[in-house]
Structure 1
Amino acid sequence: MPVHRSEQLRPRRPHLTGLLLTAILSLTLTGQPSPASAGDDTPPRGSAHMGMGVAAHDGVHGLPNETLATQTEGVDVSSHQGNVAWSTLWNSGVKWAYVKATEGTYYTNPYFAQQYTGSYNIGMIRGAYHFATPDTTNGATQANYFVDHGGGWSRDGKTLPGVLDIEWNPYGDACYGKTQSQMVTWIRDFLNRYKARTGRAAVIYTATTWWRQCTGNHSGFATANPLWIARYAADVGELPAGWSYYTMWQYTSSGPTVGDHNRFNGALDRVVALANG
């Protein structure tokens, strides 16, 4: 009896060893970690949003100086906010909004309808933005995907031109593995296709430090494309080359109701003017 009992309690080590050998063989053959062994902090594709890397790369240096000239409060949202309480934002003084529509050519925001239509219905002037992933497909292809999935424009006085959100890569190399020249070409291809599809020059959202690092501080887009600058500080600081002023400024990712809050560089009638083209 003792012999039989010890045999029944003996752990099944050959089975566990087989599992380990299978996992090791899988790694050897594929060169990729299995889902169970992946231990990095890379977020899932599609989860990127405006300003995702601003605090980490540029830091947080306070809130805007309240003595600024007349500016108009706005917000930007993505799937991270889910169904947004637009009436709360409207009553707090927010008058314009941008909604993430797409990322790469593989993702559309599942909350886009509630966010895009909801902001419009409450009275806001709103638009859509595209999170660029220059390492997945070319600029023209992503511009087409954006326009085809919510990034279009109409002359109704309530629709802002689309935004190219070009910033630190949350999934890998900051500049998406591109040289500065290649990045400028990618951005130009996106902007040209968006203009051809909609008749509008897209807004460029970026941060000065990223722009300097990844485009070589290229100045060639400033004459046609409005600048939306990201900097969490008392002022916007140095702008990317070519732009003498900003159109919008994302000044915090920890605002009320919705984290990302922005200032339009002018009164509400200037927001309307941008919408009307």
Structure 2
Amino acid sequence: MATEMKQPPPYAIASVDHALRLATILQLEGSLSVADAAARLGVARSTAHRLLAMLVYRDFAVQDDTKVYRAGPVLELGSHSHSTVSLLRRAALPQLRELVDRLGESVNLTVRTGDTARFIACVECQQALRVGSREGMVFPAHQTTAGLLLLAELTDEELDSVYAGAGRGEVPAMDELRRELAKVRRNGFALNQGRSERGVVAVGVPVRSPDGAALAGVSVSMPSVRYDRRRLRAIVADLSSAVRALEADLHEQLRVQRQESAHRQ
């Protein structure tokens, strides 16, 4: 069931990569200023402005009256609202950075759309041998740690529905997947040993909304040579502590958002 991790092409074009990353951010989060774009890419504001202008020209972005860029007509909307993804990322980043400091490994925030999982935030550790950033990348949900966490929330009927469109991509062995998802539900966390990439181990826990629904997964990824299964419970405890703080911040932001929406009406 495992596939090779996506590798950058040998002759990567930085400007194309930057433009595609900006398009992904716009699709997921809904809005972006030039300053934000420059900071996210680590480039000069003039470079970010040129990239955004080209996205506008090709209808991947539009610019509103406040000079903020938003997703254009070419970008299709996923099942997650812009506001929720943006709030998730904002609430998660401080906790992801703290987790990197605590665990010394790279950490990720991932959401699921149908049978795919998209990494919406990543913070890399500083070790020479590390799992690199996957921000903006999309994988089959059943091959990722957070994807397993979120699929485990589904009923059997919902899971069958997710994989009913067999023509869209690889369909997992469903009996095996159900057994693995049952294990994830029992444990309350997911352990991924080489499922999406050989030599990589990841551990994750779900992020929940105020009503208890799983919105995303937070995971830590490390080279398998540094994984010690005796530390698994401690890793899960650190992840769970960070997620509780993330959820408290997210729930407060959602409460404020609902109040503001009610006032506008």
TM-score tier by shorter-chain length is under 0.3
Structure-1-length-normalised TM-score: 0.25
Q: Which has the larger radius of gyration?
A: 1
Structure-2-length-normalised TM-score: 0.26
Where is the helix percentage greater, Structure 1 or Structure 2? 2
Higher relative contact order (CA 8 A, sep 6+): 1
